[in-house]
Amino acid sequence: MAGGFDDSRLDDERALAEVDATLRPLAEAGARVRREAAEAAEAVESAVRAASGEARPRAVVAAGPDSRLLRAVLEPWCPVPFVAWPGPSLPGWAGALDLVLVLAPAGSDTGTASAVAEAVRRGCQLVVACPARSVVAEHAAGRHSTVLPASSGDQLAAAVVMLDFLDRLDLGPATNAEVVAAALDEVAVECSPHKDLSVNPGKLLAIALADSIPLVWGGSVLAARAARRVAECLRRSSGRAALAADAEHLLPVLAATGVRDVFADPFADPAGDAAAGSDPRPMLVILDDGSDAPSVREHRGRLIHAAGQHGVRVETVASDAADEVARYASLLATGTYAAAYLSVGLGRASG
């Protein structure tokens, strides 16, 4: 059984080798984005040319289980009605006037293949990011279909290709594969296992989380999605609870946290310390993607104020990358690095 957190393990090559299977793909994330963009460039150009002569779609439908990432990006931006439909079908009204988007980085999900086949049958405009030779690609064959090749199995890399296509049709925000890749490369350098813990944001966040229950919050739609993904990684790495939620759901948790007695001496009165509650305390982790929306500022202020009132530590992970998808990628990568280092410090890492 894993013991307590040992920060010396974070600079121990043998201990870090135990999470190489996690750290290596993180370090290669930028390269995957570049490779997917390069391999899909010709298909994207063809799709843009084909769509440029057509009228703007009546609505955009993101189908399949990977549609949630597209929803987080497009919902606040898309100039036509947009809906995410994660099941193995399409909305009953979807037809030839609508554009259906599908992310299928693995290409083997039968539910996604079913949704793609339904789009072809109804004559929808269909764009699918998936491996060229896959079950999903086979079902996508049709007159109004375009397959954007995706070979890495990386959801984010496939999404960047799709979002670049939508950007060029003015159906999505500005998305540049090189900007996203550069943001991921920057995190990989800053959070590298070879970088000392004193200047490594991933390791420092892991140390802060060592004896805490993370409450992860992101104010914008994309930051909130990153918060949910980071909390999921932290739960897996620590075996502890980790909560990602809106401010209105986190505020009661902060309000219920007892104020720690800074003068208490647990060595003099261990029983008293246990009675006062020696379980891990919450820690507020704010994922800041630079959103300046009034509601985001208000919620952030309320959370920080509540944390201060109850002696809850606050850690902020920020990104100033050039576009919102790049900021999302940066926040998620930093949180994932921290989760990996947390597992190392707790002795829970497995090779």
Q: Provide DSSP, 199-268.
A: G-HHHHHHHHHTTEEEEEEESSHHHHHHHHHHHHHHHHHHSS--EE--HHHHHHHHHTSPPP-TT--TTT
Give the pLDDT score at 258: 85
Which pair of tokens denotes residue 222? 């994309």
- For the chain, list residues with pLDDT below 50: 1-2, 270-277, 351
Give the pLDDT score at 277: 45
Which pair of tokens denotes residue 110? 């039968």
Q: Is 250 exposed, middle or buried (0-12, 13-18, 19+ CB in 10 A)?
A: buried
Give the pLDDT score at 66: 86
Q: Report the alpha-carbon distance of residue 211 to residue 208 in Å, rounded.
A: 7
Q: Report the alpha-carbon distance of residue 275 to residue 268 in Å, rounded.
A: 14
Give the pLDDT score at 44: 95
Give the pLDDT score at 309: 95
Domains of the chain by range and CATH? 7-28+180-345 (3.40.50.10490), 57-170 (3.40.50.10490)
Report pTM: 0.91
